Amino acid sequence: MNKNLIVPKDIGQAVDILLSGKVCAFATETVYGLGGDATNDDAVLAIYESKNRPRFNPLIVHCADIEMAKTLVDFSPLALELANFWPGPLSLVLPLKKSASISSLVSAGLKTLAVRVPAHPLARELIKKTGKPLAAPSANPSGKLSPTSAKQVIKAFGGKIPVLDGGACEAGLESTIIAIDGEKIVQLRAGALAREDIEKTLNREILIAKKGSAILSPGMLKSHYAPKAKLRLNVNEPTGEGAYLAFGNAQEFAGKMLNLSPNSDIKEAAKNLFAFLHELDEGGTKLIEVAPIPHEGLGEAINDRLLRAVAPKG
Ligand code: AMP
Ligand code: MG
């Protein structure tokens, strides 16, 4: 076993690493995060460097609870309503407080900060024990697939980065990112909390950020989340030239086939998406043909990730 794999009972080791200003990956319910003390410039720099992430792409700060988040950003009444989804896979982009004790590198110089309270018990215990908000982008080199298991993190960084192992990620997709623009609610990134679910609970419409709109996520690069294999989307009848990533009732297929959800359960498909793409990459597949995925609910986020994965690099 890799010496950088930390089991839950040794959580103290992860706390010590973080308090010394170094990075440590940890499990959340979305994907594994590459954590660093958000109040420490060196730690935040180490995150950008380890991931080879452009500095203009700000990080999401993970808090133990809403009280911790309130020390960093201002909550309007509307923001407080959205925060009712915490703990959970929802990141809120809110005005950064002048008094916030946080490295300016985290928000890449913006006047706003993305915050979230994760639902994974081990992640919350880690933040509580560290006593610091933790900046934590996905624990993968920039542009590569997000990891949904500790093993994938170890592999992605050649075993050099310590990982607190919290098992397989429940959601398997990054958080939904929402910004508030006056009375408007804008989705900057589709993610593990379906837009429809937020709309139903709040009984309000959520707008989708468009190219050229006032608020945009600087990091929403077109090409992202890419596996090594070439992807072909919306394939009903696989050619057999590569592997088939099926959804729902799939016909017999002679080649390698993985089914995101034989029962057409979109939540199960979201959980399996990155895990299966990793598995096919590891198997050396050169081409992955993907079945059409419905757009409803979490299908929005799944289709978003697939489109980014086929977008030309650069
Ligand atoms: P990751 O940490 O890799 O899941 O990416 C986090 C994403 O959050 C970034 O790519 C940005 O698009 C978005 N983000 C973080 N902070 C802000 C902010 N202050 N304003 C807008 N988007 C943000
Ligand atoms: Mg990421």
CATH number of 11-208: 3.90.870.10
The per-residue pLDDT for 66 is 98
DSSP codes of every residue in 13-33: HHHHHHHTT--EEE--SSS-E
> Among the atoms of ligand 1, which is closest to the Cα of residue 110?
19
Q: How far is residue 195 from each of residues 68, 81, 88, 116, 235, measured CA to CA in Å?
A: 25, 15, 14, 16, 26
Q: How far is residue 197 from each of residues 45, 176, 202, 313, measured CA to CA in Å?
A: 36, 11, 9, 32
Is 96's C-beta closer than 6 angstroms to any atom of ligand 1? no
Kindly give the parts of the chain with pLDDT less than 70: 211-224, 312-314
User: CATH classification of 230-310, choosing from 3.10.20.600, 2.60.40.420, 3.40.50.11030, 3.90.1150.10?
Assistant: 3.40.50.11030
pTM score over 0.85: yes
The per-residue pLDDT for 210 is 76
> Nearest ligand to the C-alpha of residue 91?
1
Task: Give tens-digit pLDDT for 65-83.
Answer: 999 999 999 999 999 999 9
Q: How far is residue 215 from each of residues 18, 94, 110, 112, 116, measured CA to CA in Å?
A: 32, 11, 11, 10, 18
The per-residue pLDDT for 252 is 80
Q: Which residue from 59, 61, 96 has its CB within 8 A of the most atoms of ligand 1, so it is best to mutate?
A: 59
Residue range(s) of every CATH 3.40.50.11030 domain in the chain: 230-310
> Nearest ligand to the C-alpha of residue 134?
1
What is the Å distance from ligand 1's center to 39 Cα?
A: 17
Residue range(s) of every CATH 3.90.870.10 domain in the chain: 11-208
